[in-house]
Amino acid sequence: MKNLKLKAARAALDMSQQDLADKVGVSRQTINSIEKGDYNPTIKLCIAICKALGKTLDELFWDEM
């Protein structure tokens, strides 16, 4: 499932996929894969992404069905 919340949070900070990747220590392709829903990140990476974007885990990764 696509992570549009992550993409929107990143875009709201005018941050490119590469900018976010550099901040959390992964490749741009990893961020792209997470946003597309092709990669399920570790909790450690999720937390790093949240800190970089100033969001909580719930705000970016919780999906209410």
What pLDDT digit, counting tens, does each position of 2-26 carry? 899 999 999 999 999 999 999 999 9
Q: What's the token pair of residue 65? A: 């069905």
Q: What are the residue boundaries of the structural domains of the chain, listed by start?
A: 4-59
**Of 60, 29, 26, 32, residue with least CA distance to 45:** 26
| Mean of all residue pLDDT scores within the chain | 95
Q: pLDDT at position 52, please?
A: 98
CATH architecture of 4-59: Orthogonal Bundle (1.10)
pTM of the model: 0.92
Burial, 6: exposed, middle or buried (Cβ in 10 Å; 0-12, 13-18, 19+)? buried
